[in-house]
Amino acid sequence: MDGLVSSPTSLFRPFVSPIDLQLHVSRPAFNHDRSFEAGRVDVSFAPLLRPTSSGLYCDAGDFYVDPTRPVDRAVVTHAHSDHARWGCRRYLAAAASEHLLRMRINDDAEFQFLHYGESISIGGVRVSLHPAGHMLGSAQVRLEHRGKIAVVTGDYKLQRDPTCQAWEPVRCHLLVTETTFGLPIYRWPSPESVRDEINAWWRRCREEGKCCVLYGYAVGKSQSLLAGLDTSLGEIYTHGAVEKGTQAYRDTGVDLPETRYVGSMQGKRDWSGAMVIAVPSAHGSTWMRRFGRVSTAMASGWMAVRGSRRRRAMDRGFVVSDHVDWQSLLVAVDQSDPETVWATHGYTAAVARYLNENGRKADALDSGGRREGDEDAAADAAEPAS
Amino acid sequence: MIRFAELYNDLDSTTKTNEKIAAMVRYFAAADLSDAAWATSFLSGNKLRRLVPTSLLRGWAAEQARIPPWLFEESYQAVGDLAETFSLVVPPGKTTTDESLTHWVEHRLKPLRWMSDEEQHTAVLRIWNETPARLRLVVMKLITGAFRVGVSKRLVTRAIAMHAGIPADVISHRLMGDFVPSAESFASLIDPEIQDTVPSKPYPFCLAHPIDNEKGPEVLGDASEYLAEWKWDGIRGQVIRRSGQTFLWSRGEELMENRWPEIESAAESLPDGTVIDGEILAAIPGGAVLPFAQLQRRIGRKKVGKKLLAEVPVVFHAFDVMEHRGEDVRSLRFVDRRARLDELLRSIDHPHLSATQLIDGESWNAWADIRTTSRQRYAEGLMLKRKDAPYDVGRVRGTWWKWKVAPYTIDAVLIYAQKGHGRRSGLFTDYTFALWDDGQLVPFAKAYSGLDDQEIRKVDQFVRQNTNDSFGPVRSVTPTLVMELAFEGLQRSGRHKSGVATRFPRIVRWRHDKRPQDANTLADLLELLPED
């Protein structure tokens, strides 16, 4: 594999803040009003990559990246159901995602797994996967064809996460980046400070004799939350969907605190002082009744904004995200240093316009995009609350 | 200040009344008198007059966040709250010292008003540098005059009462009118000994509960226990005559000086020690009530010219008396208070000060018939009041009931949507509706309320998927959704494209059964216009 991909460390440059960038980049005179309309198909990178109604398609290799409907061959960035769609014939994904993917995808599919940095050739396109830091086995897909390199980030974050390998920049000509939280209002607090807040909340609930119910996506978020819990405070229980995901993490070799599956607990018990990790759809359901007096909290990037926090009608909201915030998005673009950026999911138009104004060609792939609740919905559809 | 920010956060993050009261009581117990006074003032909805123009603040925030102005606006649209946008977009600062709420108000906020732009800039940046997000949110809410947190004045009153160990109605009375925050004012607010003798001090208003139109008034029990009056559509007011002075208060506890000269001069003929409750109405003295649209011409005028005074005379329709011959008579039965009121007004016999008419009926059916004539009389329906009830403080269930006539309704098509604020921020919740006119959809009303959370999410999704065009924050969507709108009144308006303005439009239900072409026409709406 040597020579195929330049070592990621060599790509690290000193951090350049976006304002410094502005100083030595002249502003191109773009007409921004119409240039990012959704549905405008950009073929400038075909046959390497082009957007289609079924997702990003590589003509040269005849495969899709994170297709939105069943296709013959899918390269998948990570095991969340809005990226790893059910029903394709062949899947290519990162080795670390094997257990998660097999848990969720049809058995009759054909799987192929690559270690990070390892590459294969599909129809003359060199394909390799690189850590994205979003969750266990999440990858950025790097495609190289006739000297052009495209990177699809999938979902990613730059913050530390003990349950998965950290994001690495990959230099490219075309960067397809997610922009779920692509507005300057999103600025994640340090993972350590949020971890401390969560444990402080648990401690206080324990003193008040309440049971903590912490909601996060079943796979990925739940496990990184688990990894940050102070196990000296009490027992940790899991919702069915969370337990399944946690098991897949353990099977992959990730060390997580001991958990007990709520559904396996027999008879009436005292839940005060316990910590329960559950999926958001369990909130307000009859499943919750068993816990008696509870304090509920949601762990999500959306919790940064009060309106979202209050709409959830939960006692607490912790700002924990597995996506890039505004600053890290800019850092990632800067370090990947592409000629062109395609923004997908969320605030695509704002990010594209900002990048254009700061000297980097950018387009919005979609305008509707992802927003609060979509991931919950996807996760819930895949794993009905038990 | 940190504690006050925590109080804000506690109040903001719960919907439970008891937790809100507990949080306020905790705050009052720990705060010094002066801080408690300022907290009381802000929590009751008082504001510092606008200190810094928000256009300047927006510019500075964009500059600090190193983003262009359009991206700040985009961020504001997503957050739906200006102060919160400042708290999120500008890099977080670090608290160095924790000054008291009073110190902040007196030394950091109030002085902003007198500074030059340049000095304001420096002072605001210093504030931002010294405040992490949560603290900054509260400070910016004070600076922008948008400090609102989900507590009613009544709830604040209950918290202070609990803290002081004094009945809530005493606190409520002491808080009426102008509460000037200071250590002394808070000390006297919670002092169990002090006698209340300020001549201008009004009584807390008694408020009415609505009667469910589907259920009717029968649930109230026996009709013979009630008296009925017209429910007028005017401005609620309290006339005070004490120590040779007259005060006219609005329900919002504002002194309305010089705005209703006829009433103020009429009140001069009242004996000292009189407080009466009633409604200011545009009306011919001694005669019929005029439509609300006429009264509207006088609302908001600080000074009233001779011409307007002649064209739109007003009359104070009194319906209750709280103080009679210097005595607080609120604990008397309504029939007894009413007898005193009638006698009092008969004795002064002033055309601009009259007792509102009691409506004979004495059976639910008779009143129901009379109620159908409300609109012709420019009334909103009937008021039903228990004969034996005292004058209550606030909205106490069971003494006063408003029995409004059914609102106008019409089926309209949703054509524009905009993101909401506060709890609804980030979702498309503010809609513009249109009616058909000659094959065109003509916008005629905006409605913000009436759908439940689930429906709001559905409409939100619809808007995102069916946007045809954007005008700033406003999305124009494919006309598809039909909703039934209700509104209280209609009047001609030159400012509206449709030529009519609606009062209190809101969504009654989503008409899934109707296609856009089935919606009503502008002509249907015009037919509802009262003839004048």
Q: Do A307 and B79 touch (CB under 8 A)?
A: yes
Q: What confidence score (pLDDT) does residue B13 get?
A: 81
Interface confidence, given as ipTM, is 0.84
| Chain A residues inside the 8 Å CB shell of B424 | 307, 311
Q: Which residues of A fall within a CB distance of 8 Å from B426? A: 305, 307-308, 371-372
What is residue A48's predicted lDDT score, i.e. its pLDDT?
95
Task: For B72-86, give the DSSP string.
Answer: HHHHHHHH--HHHHH
Q: Which residue of A has its CA nearest to B464?
A: A368
Which segments of A153-201 are extended strands (E)?
174-179
A89 and chain B in contact, CB less than 8 A: no
pLDDT exceeds cutoff 50 at B260: yes
Among the partner residues B65, B423, B465, nearest to A310 by beta-carbon distance: B423
Chain B neighbours among A 185-214 (CB < 8 Å)?
185-187
- Phi and psi at residue B299, in whole multiples of 5°? -65, 140
* C-alpha span between A75 and A67 (Å, rounded): 8
Average pLDDT, chain A: 85
Instruction: Assign 3-class secondary structure to B115-173.
Output: CCHHHHHHHHHHHHHCCCHHHHHHHHHHHCCCCCCCCCHHHHHHHHHHHHCCCHHHHHH
pLDDT digits (tens, 9 = 90+) for B452-462: 888 998 999 89
Q: What percent of chain B has pLDDT over 70?
A: 98
* B180-219 confidence digits (pLDDT tens): 999 999 998 998 887 666 788 888 899 898 898 888 888 8
B281 by DSSP, 3-state: which?
strand
How far does the CA of residue B159 sit from the closest CA of chain A (Å)?
Answer: 22
Task: Determine contact: A316 vs chain B, CB below 8 A.
Answer: yes
Encode pLDDT of A219-260 as tens digits. 999 999 999 999 999 999 999 999 999 999 999 999 999 999
| All residues at 6 or more sequence positions from B510 whose CB lies less than 8 Å from its CB, including other chains | B451, B455, B481, B482, B483, B484
Say whether A310 and B71 touch across the interface (CB within 8 A): no
Residues of B in Cβ contact (< 8 Å) with A372 = 426
CA distances from A201 to A188, A317, B17, B173 (A): 19, 11, 22, 40
DSSP states of B404-466 = EPPPEEEEEEEEEEEEB-GGGBTSEEEEEEEEEETTEEEEEEEE--S--HHHHHHHHHHHHHS
Question: Chain A partners of B70 at a C-beta cutoff of 8 Å?
Answer: 353
Nearest to B228 by CA among B406, B339, B387: B387
Pairwise CA distance, residues A125 & B146, whole Å: 57
Q: pLDDT for A249-295, tens place per residue? A: 999 999 999 999 998 988 888 999 999 999 999 998 889 999 999 99
Nearest alpha carbon to residue B131 among B98, B172, B109, B175: B98
Shortest Cα distance from A181 to chain B (angstroms)? 11
Reported confidence tier of residue B530, pLDDT bands at 50, 70, 90: low
Of the partner residues B66, B80, B453, the one whose CB lies closest to the CB of residue A307: B80
Q: Are A170 and A8 a contacting pair, CB within 8 Å? A: yes
**Interchain CB distance below 8 Å, A18 and B66:** yes
pLDDT confidence tier of residue B423, bands split at 50, 70 and 90: low
Tell me which of A319-333, B313-327, B517-531 is least confident.
B517-531
Q: What percent of chain A has pLDDT over 90?
A: 73
Q: How far is A249 from chain B (nearest CA, A)?
A: 34
Residues of B with Cβ-Cβ distance to A347 under 8 angstroms: 74, 78
Report the relative pairing of strands A55-58 and A63-65 from DSSP bridges: antiparallel
Per the omega criterion (within 30 degrees of 0), is the bond before A47 cis? Answer: yes
What's the confidence (pLDDT) of residue B130? 95
Q: Give the type of residue at A213.
A: V
Beta strands per DSSP E along B243-342: 245-250, 274-282, 314-324, 327-328
The confidence score (pLDDT) of residue A386 equals 31
Question: How far apart are alpha carbons A332 and A154 in whole angstroms?
Answer: 13
Query: What is the torsional sign of CA B91, B97, B102, B103?
Result: negative
Give B290-346 pLDDT, tens digit per residue.
Answer: 888 788 888 877 778 888 988 999 999 999 999 999 999 999 999 999 999 999 999
Quickly list H helices, A312-384. Answer: 326-336, 348-357, 374-382
Nearest Cβ partner for A184 among B75, B424, B453: B75
Q: Are B422 and B480 in contact (CB under 8 A)?
A: no
Tell me the per-residue pLDDT of B209-248, one tens digit each, with 9 for 90 and over: 889 888 888 888 899 999 999 999 899 999 999 989 899 9
Query: What pLDDT was estimated at residue A41?
Result: 64
A313–B15: do the CB atoms touch at under 8 Å? Answer: yes
Q: What is the largest CA-CA distance in chain A?
A: 69
pLDDT at position A105: 87
Of B344, B373, B338, the C-alpha closest to B358 is B338
Rounded CA-CA distance B20/B43 in Å is 12
pLDDT at B169 over 80: no
Residue of A nearest to B10 (CA): A315
* Closest residue by Cα to residue B386 from B346, B328, B336, B317: B336
Closest-CA residue in chain B for A373? Answer: B457
Q: What's residue B361's pLDDT?
A: 80
Among A201, A311, A312, A374, most B C-beta atoms within 10 A, so best to mutate, is A311
Show the tokens assigned to B321: 């008396």
Mean of the pLDDT values across residues B350-354? 92
pTM over 0.80: no
Find the mean pLDDT for residues B265-269. Answer: 93
What pLDDT is stored for residue A19 in this prediction?
36
Spatial contact of B275 and B238, defined as CB atoms under 8 Å apart: yes
Q: Does residue A310 sit at the B interface (CB-CB below 8 Å)?
A: yes
Average pLDDT score over residue span B128-136: 94
The CA distance from A190 to B128, in Å, is 20
A–B interface: beta-carbon pairs under 8 A: 76
**DSSP class per residue in A266-312:** -S----TT-EEEE-GGGTTSGGGGGG-SEEEEEESGGGGSHHHHHHT
Sort out which chain A residues have CB atoms less than 8 A from B80's CB and list them: 307
In the DSSP assignment, the letter for residue B394 is: B
